[in-house]
Chains A and B, each alone.
Chain A
Amino acid sequence: MSVTPTLTEEQWRRLKAPARRERIFRIASYFSPLLLLLLWELSSQFNLIDRRFFPAPSAIAGTAWRMIVSFELFEHIGATLRRVGIGYVMGAVPGIVMGLILGLSRPARRLLGPIFSALYPVPKIAILPLILLIFGVGDASKFVVIAIGVFFLMFYNTMGGVMQTPQIYMDVAKNAGATRLQIFRRIAFPAALPSVFTGLKLAAGSSYIIIAAAEFLGARSGVGFFIWASWQTFAVSRMFVGIVAISAMGYLTILALEALERRFVPWAKH
C-alpha cells in the first residue's frame, strides 16, 4: 500500500546508515569477549600475570577438552542440571501459584504476606546445614534449598505482576461474566506473565549460585563439587573449567528462558 518515493542514492545511504552502524556494532559485540580472552592468553604466556592462579585460556581449553572426551565434565554437568532443574520446578510452581493468590486477594495478602516477608531475607546458604540435617546429604537437600530460593523470587515477581494489572482488565472480565477461577487463569496469569518471566530469569541465576555453594559442602558430584575438589588439589585449570562450565550453564538457561519469553509473551516489547 505504501508508495515508495524516488530517492537519490545519497538519500538511501543516509536513511540506511543508522541500521548499518547498528549491524556493525552487533557483530563487534560478539568479538569483544574474545579480545579479553586474547589479552589474558598473551599476559599469561608472557608471564605478565601469575600462571599458577591464571593459567592461559589455551591451557584451560586443553584441560576442558580432556574432560569432555573422557565424559567426566558431562557427568558433573548432568548432576548439577538435574538438581537445579528439579529444585527450580519445585520452587517455581508453588511460587507462581502463591503469587497469583496473594496478588488477587487482599485478605490473603494481609494474612500471609508478613510470613513471607519475614522468611524471605533468611540467606538460603545459611539454612543449608539445617536442610542437610533434615533431608540428608543426598539430592533431596539440594532440591529443597534451590526450591526455597526460587520460590521467593517467583512469589514476589508474580504477586507484583498481578498487583500491577490494570483494574480495567478485571472489570472487563467481570462484565464478560468471568468466574473467579476464570479471572485467575484468563486475566491475572497472563497479565503477570511478563513479571513471571523476569522472576524465572532471576531465579535461574540464583539457582546456580545456590547449587554451587550447596555442592561445595555436601556432594560427591556436580560442577560445584568439582570446583571445590579442584581447589583442594590445587588443580587450577580444572577449577577454571568448572567455573566456565557453570557460568555457561547459567547463561544458556537464561537464553532459553528468553526464547520462551518471546514465544509466550509476544505482546511485551523486547
Chain B
Amino acid sequence: MEIVREMHAAAAEALPPAIEVSHLTKAFYDSEGDRVTVAVSDVSFSVARGEFVCIVGPSGCGKTTVLRILADLEEKLGGTVKLHSTTPPAMVFQEASVLPWLTVSENIAFPLSLKGVSRAEQEARVRDLLALTGLTEFAKARPHQLSGGMKQRVSVARALVDDRDILLMDEPFGALDEQTRLVLQQELLRIWETTGKTVVFITHSVDEALTLADRVLVMSPRPGTLVANLMVPFERPRDVVEMRRDKRFWDMTYEVWRLLASPARD
C-alpha cells in the first residue's frame, strides 16, 4: 500500500508541468508611428497539471498577450513556451464571444461540429454541458436573448465541450456585475473541481484571483513582467462568500495591492 502511494508520488513528480514558459517576450510594431511597444518582457512561469493559476495585473500589462501566445493566437518574439498536453488549450474569451447566428446549443457544439463529430455524440455532450453550466432551459435560445452572465456560461461550456486538458480564461467575468460574477466564480470552482483541468485565468481583480486560484502571478505594468508568485492558502472546496470572512483573504489582498502599486512609480 505504502509502496504504491510512493510510486504514485514519484510518477506525479516525473510528469512535466502542464505549461512551461521561460523568458517570454512579445512586442508590437506600430508602422504609423514607427514605434515598438514591448508588451511582455522576460516572463517565466510554469503551471502544474490540474493547477488553477491566476495572472493578475493592471490593464495593458500584457497579461492577455501572454494568454493569447499560450493559445497560439499570437506569435511570440522570444523565449520558449512548452505545453505538455495531448490537446491544444481551450480559450474562454474576454467579451461576448458567443456566435450570434447560432443557438446556445449550436454554440456549445461548435468545436465538435468543426471536427465532424457525429450528431448523436454532439447532442449527448451538449446536454451534459447545458446541465453543468445551468443552461438547459436556454438550449434553443439565441445569444441576443441572453444576459451577459448567460453568454459567459455559454463560452465556458463551449471551451469544455471537447474536453481539452488546459483551459485559458481571459477575464471571462470582467464585464459582469459583482453578484453574477460571484455566482459564476462559484460555479467555475465547482466545474474545475469535477474536471481537474489545468487553468490559467487572467483577471485585473485581486479579489477574483484570490477567490479562484491555487497560485497568483502578479504582473507589473508595461513592459509586463512578473513581480510575484504567491501561493493562495485557502482549502478546497471553497465557498466564495464564506472565504471573505477569513482574515488571510484580506491580508493577501493587501499584499497583492502593495505589489501592484509599487512598480507604478515610473
What residues make up the interface of A, taking CB atoms closer than 8 Å to B?
A: 168-169, 171-179, 182, 186-187, 190-191, 193, 265-267, 269
Contacts and interface: CB of A to CB of B under 8 A. Distances in A.
B115 A177 contact: yes
A161 to B, nearest CB: 12
Nearest to A266: B142
B171 to A, nearest CB: 13
A186 B114 contact: yes
Contacts of B100: 267
A151 to B, nearest CB: 25
Given A168-B95, A186-B114, A175 B71 contact: yes
A171 B97 contact: yes
Interface string B88-127: 1111011101011100000000110011000000000000
B195 to A, nearest CB: 18
B73 interface: yes
CB-based closest 3 A-B pairs: A176-B111, A190-B101, A267-B100
B114 A177 contact: yes
Contacts of A169: 97, 99
Interface residues of B, number: 23
Nearest to A186: B114
24 contacts: A168-B93, A168-B94, A169-B97, A169-B99, A171-B97, A172-B97, A172-B99, A172-B110, A175-B71, A175-B73, A175-B88, A175-B90, A176-B111, A176-B162, A177-B111, A178-B114, A186-B110, A186-B114, A187-B99, A190-B99, A193-B101, A266-B142, A267-B101, A267-B143
Contacts of B89: 175
A174 B93 CA distance: 12
Interface in B134-167: 142-144, 158, 162
